[in-house]
Amino acid sequence: MPPKDAGKTRQAQIFAIANQKGGVGKTTTAVNLATALAACEMTVLVIDLDPQGNASTGLGIEQQARERDVYHVLLEELAIEEAIVETAIPRLSIIPSNTNLSGAEVELVEAERRAYRLRDALARISDSYDYILIDCPPALGLLTLNALAAATGLLVPLQAEFYALEGLSHLMQTVERVKALYNPELKLAGIAVTMYDKRNNLSDQVADDVRGYFGDLVFKTEIPRNVRVSEAPSFGLPALLYDWRCAGSQAYIKLAAEVLKRDGRKVKLPAGAQ
Ligand code: ADP
Ligand code: MG
């Protein structure tokens, strides 16, 4: 169910967290940025739009709580309100996914408003949240199209490694097409450099290249490669709950502060943020 103060006039920022490459930090960013925003007193909803269900796992959602999932919402078999699951983190909810979602691309091919299923559903609840973060699968198919058609902004995690910039131009072309055909309001909300390793010159070079090209659209905060961040999901916890003090968690808090500032919101950092 949406939070009780539903109906207050706020319009959620809806971020599609997308990059057609796998393993670049989409899910890690969705889970930890969402947790950091919730820690900054925002009301946040994560939508797990990847059939692998990693965001659901990372937020500690048990298998039996994933039955009323985003798949049934996209197929219009379930009202979106019925699919919202609260997490253990105050102000943070999720619409989970499970493997049945992998069938949705095929099952929706002939469906009416197939690119707008998520947008139509979110229109019913978006004023109950400050932020809605959509964790996309590693492909530019119908699921990611649903996310981009529903989003106010695209947030791109970019792994600081050699091939990172390849594929980015394809992603930008896709954004232009989606803008022209489905969602004129879509903008590039930002690029977050992930798995940054300051001992590695290549990491620096990739960050410099992407900044040279995208300028201020690249967040100042780089998310460091940090083993605590990669350990956290196996405990069903965001890094911020697994190890609040680690460099990765603190970086996600800084990233959240940047997001809030860009949106012109007051930043109330949680106690203990460095
Ligand atoms: P995607 O969703 O884009 O496929 P993930 O967020 O699942 O990518 O990240 C891929 C892998 O890299 C996961 O095993 C994750 O734990 C690890 N990872 C992501 N970010 C970091 C980080 N900052 N430091 C260390 N490992 C990370
Ligand atoms: Mg993922």
- The CATH number of the domain holding residue 140 is 3.40.50.300
User: Does the residue 1 lie in any domain?
Assistant: no
Whether pLDDT at 7 is above 50: no
Nearest CA to ligand 1 atom 17: 230
Q: Cβ(63)–Cβ(105) under 8 Å? A: no
* Mean pLDDT value across residues 240-261: 97
Please say if the pLDDT value at position 30 is more than 90: yes
46 falls within a domain = yes
In a domain, 265, yes or no: no
pTM for this model (two decimals): 0.95
Assigned domain for 101 exists:
yes
What confidence tens digit (pLDDT) does each residue in 145-196 have? 999 999 999 999 999 887 788 888 889 999 999 999 999 999 999 999 999 9
Lowest mean pLDDT among 184-188, 215-219, 270-274: 270-274
Domain-located, residue 264: no
Query: Does some domain include residue 268?
Result: no
Average pLDDT value over all residues in the chain: 93
CA distance 144 to 199: 34
Testing ligand 1's pocket by substitution, the residue of 221, 230, 242, 253 carrying the most ligand atoms inside 8 A of its CB is 230
| Average pLDDT of span 50-71 | 96
Between strands 92-95 and 85-86, the pairing is antiparallel
Which residue range forms the structural domain that includes residue 191?
13-259
Tokens 């405990």 sit on residue: 235
- Which distant-in-sequence residues (6+ apart) come within 8 Å of 208 by Cβ? none
Q: Which residue has the CA at smallest separation from atom 18 of ligand 1?
A: 230
Whether the Cβ atoms of residue 233 and residue 57 lie closer than 8 Å to each other: yes
Mean pLDDT, residues 122-138 = 97
**271 falls within a domain:** no
* Number of domains making up the chain: 1
The protein residue whose alpha carbon is closest to atom 5 in ligand 1 is 25
pLDDT at 8 over 60: no
